[in-house]
């Protein structure tokens, strides 16, 4: 995985490394588009307003992915070296839609804010207006997704015939996810050989030296 979590919060990490890693993070949000799309399909009886908010959520995630897709090449990353993780998708589709939606909004999104706040502070050091703006949009959208989650999770649970209090349900779903991850996590093979795929070390070199290898036009 090219995102090294401890580096993101280590005060000695170069802010340019953090900027590249957060763009990789954003691009990887394409997996959220994939697993959120399955929630529509699996809740055909949901009220229109629920699907309406879900559609906005889906669009936001595809946009976040585009932030990375658009910015990474500008910073010298060859997108063909980026592996896309299918892990979360593979685990989440084992769950019914209300559990999938609970993991997304009450776990992944709800817990992303402290790291994101730190990343935004560090990226601000670079005086990169575009990066600051994209990250501000991302955080604002994520706040809306968590808000939507609070509104719609109980409705989705009712559709799935689950009458537990939402907090109890979320807690149980976390445990179930951890259990499923033992079987379905880490089973998708690498799509690129080790020498070719982007890694944290390569991001470090790229961010701090300006280039991984001479460009064809340099020769
Ligand atoms: Fe997102
Ligand atoms: Fe989100």
Candidates 49, 42, 55; CA nearest to 152 is 49
CA 25 to chain centre: 6
Centre of ligand 2 to C-alpha 217, Å, is 39
Centre of ligand 2 to C-alpha 211, Å, is 32
Centre of ligand 1 to C-alpha 145, Å, is 9
Average pLDDT, the chain: 94
Centre of ligand 2 to C-alpha 141, Å, is 6
Residue 202 is predicted with a pLDDT of: 95
Candidates 168, 148, 105, 126; CA nearest to 13 is 126
Residue 215 is predicted with a pLDDT of: 44
Residue 1 is predicted with a pLDDT of: 80
In this structure, which ligand is nearest to the CA of 64? 1
In this structure, which ligand is nearest to the CA of 149? 2
Centre of ligand 1 to C-alpha 112, Å, is 10
- What's this model's pTM, rounded to 2 decimal places? 0.92
Domain ranges of the chain: 5-211
Candidates 124, 105, 102, 111; CA nearest to 175 is 102
Residue 31 is predicted with a pLDDT of: 95
Centre of ligand 1 to C-alpha 61, Å, is 5
Residue 209 is predicted with a pLDDT of: 84
Residue 216 is predicted with a pLDDT of: 44
Centre of ligand 2 to C-alpha 63, Å, is 10
Q: In which residue ranges of the chain is pLDDT below 70?
A: 210-219
Centre of ligand 1 to C-alpha 29, Å, is 6
In this structure, which ligand is nearest to the CA of 26? 1
Q: How far apart are CA 57 and CA 139, in angstroms?
A: 13
Could you report the per-residue pLDDT of 47-93, keeping only the tens digit for each?
999 999 999 999 999 999 999 999 999 999 999 999 998 999 999 99
Centre of ligand 1 to C-alpha 216, Å, is 35
Residue 212 is predicted with a pLDDT of: 55
Would you say 60 and 147 are in contact if contact means Cβ atoms under 8 Å apart?
no
Centre of ligand 1 to C-alpha 62, Å, is 8
Candidates 177, 173, 137; CA nearest to 153 is 173
Centre of ligand 2 to C-alpha 131, Å, is 18
Centre of ligand 2 to C-alpha 2, Å, is 20
């Amino acid at each position: 995985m090219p995102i090294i979590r401890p580096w993101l919060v280590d005060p000695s990490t170069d802010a340019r490394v953090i900027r590249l890693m957060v763009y990789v993070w954003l691009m990887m949000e394409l997996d959220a588009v994939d697993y959120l799309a399955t929630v529509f399909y699996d809740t055909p009886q949901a009220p229109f307003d629920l699907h309406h908010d879900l559609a906005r959520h889906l669009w936001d995630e595809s946009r976040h992915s585009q932030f990375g897709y658009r910015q990474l090449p500008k910073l010298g990353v060859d997108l063909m070296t980026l592996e896309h993780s299918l892990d979360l998708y593979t685990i989440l589709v084992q769950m019914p839609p209300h559990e999938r939606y609970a993991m997304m909004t009450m776990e992944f999104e709800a817990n992303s804010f402290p790291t994101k706040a730190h990343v935004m502070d560090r990226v601000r050091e670079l005086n990169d207006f575009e990066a600051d703006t994209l990250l501000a949009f991302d955080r604002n959208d994520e706040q809306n997704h968590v808000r939507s989650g609070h509104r719609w999770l109980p409705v989705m649970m009712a559709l799935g015939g689950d009458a537990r209090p939402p907090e109890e349900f979320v807690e149980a779903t976390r445990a179930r996810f951890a259990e499923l991850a033992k079987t379905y996590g880490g089973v998708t093979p690498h799509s690129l050989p080790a020498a070719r795929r982007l890694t944290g070390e390569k991001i470090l070199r790229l961010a701090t030296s300006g280039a991984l290898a001479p460009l064809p036009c340099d020769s």
